[in-house]
């Protein structure tokens, strides 16, 4: 018989990741696993037992290949002919946080639980963040796998 975790037994940790030279897709995949709680032994699909994730230096995140220029993000206004597109190059000058948030959002399942899990992702430009009192555990993302950091040839 499978033991599911109860709401009172859930303990949320805080993780801090520096996004300097991190590859967008690899970082988003790691974050989505942590937000869902799939890295924990007591993972329960219908409960929100994931950890909080703080990402700093988001303006220094990298794409591999030519995706920074050629990739397109689409959205629709709901009106006829209302499809809008933007490249990561233009989006990074306006809202660099949105690039990682979109990538993580699309890796989570749809529904109310995913929206609640996505709210545990905190993204900041620069080194400063207001979550020092939570004592976040620092994750050195580049040391988990050498492909996680962008290296130009």
**Residue 129 near residue 56 (C-beta atoms within 8 A):** yes
C-alpha to C-alpha distance for 38 and 51, rounded to whole angstroms: 10
* Closest of 92, 95, 109, 144 to residue 33, by C-alpha: 109
pLDDT, tens digit (0-9, with 9 covering 90-100), for 45-77 = 899 999 999 999 999 999 999 999 999 999 999
pLDDT-based confidence at residue 7 (cuts at 50, 70, 90): confident
What's this model's pTM, rounded to 2 decimal places?
0.92
Residue 153: the pLDDT is 62
* Closest of 2, 90, 111, 94 to residue 48, by C-alpha: 111
Domain coordinates of the chain in residue numbers? Answer: 14-62+96-144
C-alpha to C-alpha distance for 61 and 149, rounded to whole angstroms: 9
No. of H helices and E strands in the chain? 6, 6
pLDDT, tens digit (0-9, with 9 covering 90-100), for 11-35 = 999 999 999 999 999 999 999 999 9
The residue behind tokens 């990561």 is 88
| Arithmetic mean of pLDDT over the chain | 94
Half-sphere exposure of residue 15: CA atoms within 13 angstroms, side-chain side = 22
Give the three-class secondary structure for 123: strand
Least confident of 1-15, 29-43, 105-119: 1-15
Q: Which two tokens stand for residue 87?
A: 């490249």
The CATH label, of 3.40.50.720, 3.90.1180.10, 1.10.10.60, 3.40.50.300, for the domain at 14-62+96-144 is 3.90.1180.10
DSSP string, 38-58: TTSTT--TTS--PPEEEEE-G
pLDDT at 3 over 90: no
Count of residues in the chain: 153
Residues 6+ apart with CB under 8 A from 85: 72, 73, 74
């Amino acid at each position: 018989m499978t033991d599911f975790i109860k709401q009172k037994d859930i303990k949320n940790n805080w993780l801090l990741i520096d996004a300097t030279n991190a590859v967008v897709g690899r970082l988003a995949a790691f974050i989505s696993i942590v937000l869902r709680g799939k890295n924990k032994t007591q993972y329960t699909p219908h409960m929100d037992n994931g950890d909080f994730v703080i990402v700093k230096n988001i303006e220094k995140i990298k794409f591999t290949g030519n995706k920074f220029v050629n990739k397109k993000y689409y959205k629709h206004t709901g009106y006829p002919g209302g499809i809008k597109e933007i490249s990561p190059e233009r989006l990074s000058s306006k809202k660099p946080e949105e690039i990682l948030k979109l990538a993580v959002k699309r890796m989570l399942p749809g529904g109310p639980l995913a929206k609640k899990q996505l709210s545990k992702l905190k993204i900041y430009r620069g080194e400063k963040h207001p979550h020092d009192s939570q004592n976040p555990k620092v994750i050195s993302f580049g040391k988990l796998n050498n492909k996680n950091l962008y290296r130009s040839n």
